[in-house]
Amino acid sequence: MQNIELEKGEIHSLKWRPNTKEFIVICGFMPAYSVLFGSDQAPLFQFGRNHRNKIMFNPFNRYLLLAGFGNLGGDIELWDMNTHKSIGKCNSHSASFCTWAPDGKHFLTAVCSPFIVVDNDYKIFDLVGNLICHIKLGNEAVYEVQWRPGKFYNSNIHQKGKYTKEPTPPMV
């Protein structure tokens, strides 16, 4: 292992890409720089600069979610890791939690207590950032939101609006 030269500033997030020798780093002063590195620690792809601090791969390792949660604006970018192309954008303002659905085609964001004690909610988005469901929970304290367990398979992801199976609803 060798040292890798990064932008000046903090490292906001670092995540290994599952089942590969690649990793992504979000670093530098905001708007932060995001880059994919290969096994030789050389940059493979740059995702550009944005207000980000979260890296999440979907369960089948094909799609990537880059986001800015917490004190950032809640912007979310979705990328196809096979082509390194952006496939969608959306926003989940004030979100403190995010997770992929087991089907790898949807993701959930939530505003949870104790981070924010009013206007708790959760949102479900599809793979390209379309809002599928928004449940407002008001001043009800919500500490965690999870997907209901279920069996899903690594099927082909269909084009926008042509999904064959609805996501399993989350449990609050």
Closest to 6 measured CA to CA, from 29, 31, 39, 22? 29
Enumerate the domain spans of the chain. Answer: 11-150+167-171
Provide the mean pLDDT of the chain. 81
Q: Let me know: does 96 contact 110? Beta carbons within 8 Å.
A: yes
Close Cβ partners of 3 (under 8 Å, ≥ 6 residues apart): none
The yes or no reply on domain 11-150+167-171 and CATH 3.90.25.10 is no
The radius of gyration of the chain's CA atoms, rounded to the nearest angstrom, is 16
Mean pLDDT of 127-152: 82
Give the residue, 24 or 5, on which the prediction is more confident: 24
Q: Tell me the three state secondary structure of residue 74.
A: coil
Asked whether the predicted pLDDT for residue 142 surpasses 50, the reply is: yes
**pTM for the predicted model, two decimal places:** 0.79
Close Cβ partners of 125 (under 8 Å, ≥ 6 residues apart): 76, 90, 92, 106, 107, 108, 109, 131, 132
Mean pLDDT of 34-55: 88
Asked whether the predicted pLDDT for residue 146 surpasses 90, the reply is: no
Q: What is the residue type of 77?
A: E
Residues in the chain: 172
